[in-house]
Every structure is written in structure tokens, then in C-alpha cells.
Amino acid sequence: GCTLRFQIKNLKNLVKTCLKIFEIDASFCPNLSHFSFFSIFTIRKSLKILNLKGTDLSDHSLYGINDFQELEVLNMSTCKKVEIFLYFALGRLKKLKSLNLTGHIHLCDKFLFILVSNLKLLEDLDLSLCTKLTDKSIDALAGLKMLKRLSLRGLFNVRDQNVINIIADCSNIECL
């Protein structure tokens, strides 16, 4: 396998030549469009790490991401065009161990419940600046028994006591 980090316009041709890519870092890639992202689907069975931080992809562009069944690490931080669909799709990525949703202003309690109930292997979760989250959904994080790292920076609707409860319930937490 190989790792790709790039700022490229024509991802489709690149992916055709290397079908065993296990990591793609397209963070802040200004030219990543719906069509170029769709070309990644040809390698969905080998892809384990996907960094889409700061891209302009929307729910429509990410349709089918739930087919990336081998995906273990997904960074979607500061993807401002993502809304509701993504959270349903992410709940189907059963092998996901690390998820970064920093700055997802549409992530609310209802969708976090969906994620938490399905992603039992999560070890690293970053929900920083997801300002619609409240104590209600944060309590559900206690169900993530594999959780080692949790970031809740900028969640002003979450009380300290709830964070303390998560630490008590998730004995594997090393970093908060």
C-alpha cells in the first residue's frame, strides 16, 4: 500500500494507478470536488486513513462514505458544508477508531447519539467547537468503553461534572 498527501486537481487518474492506497491526506485541498472525491470510491476496500480536514465537501459529495468499511481514521474537522446526512453514514463505519469532527456546527445531541451507539471501537474522538452539543449527548459518550482520547474544547453547554462522569465510566481515557 501507499500513502498520498497532495494538492491535486485530477485525483481520478492517480487513484487508477495505485489501487492499494491505504491513506489519503486531502486536508485543505482547494480543488477536491464531488467528482474527484467520488474517484476515491474505487479504493474504498483498502483505505484505512482519510483526512478531509478543511475541504469544501458537502453531504451530497460524501454520499456513500458508509461503504468505506475498512476506514479506521477519519478527520472531517472544519468541513463547514457538512450537515445531517454524514452523521447517519458515519454510524455505519464499524471499524472507525479515530474521528475528528471539530467545528461541526450542525452536530447536535440527536446525531451524536447515533454515532455513539454504533461506533463502539472509537479510541479517539474530537468534538471540539461542536457548539450544539449539550450534557444530554455527552453523557452517552460513557458508552464508548475503548475511548482513550477525547477533546471537548469549546463546548460551553457541557458541565464539568458530566466530563468527570465520562472519565469515571471510560477507564481507558488517557487524554482529555
pLDDT at 4: 47
Summarize pLDDT for 118-128 with one digit per residue, the tens. 899 999 999 99
DSSP H stretches of helix in the chain: 11-17, 34-38, 85-90, 109-118, 135-140, 160-169
Cβ distance 57 to 79 under 8 Å? yes
Summarize pLDDT for 73-116 with one digit per residue, the tens. 999 999 888 877 788 888 889 999 999 999 998 888 888 888 88
Give the long-range contacts of residues 153-156, CB within 8 A, separation 24 or more: 153/128, 153/129, 154/128, 154/129, 155/127, 155/128, 155/129, 155/130, 155/131, 156/131
Of 72, 79, 59, 61, whose CA–CA distance to 122 is shortest?
72
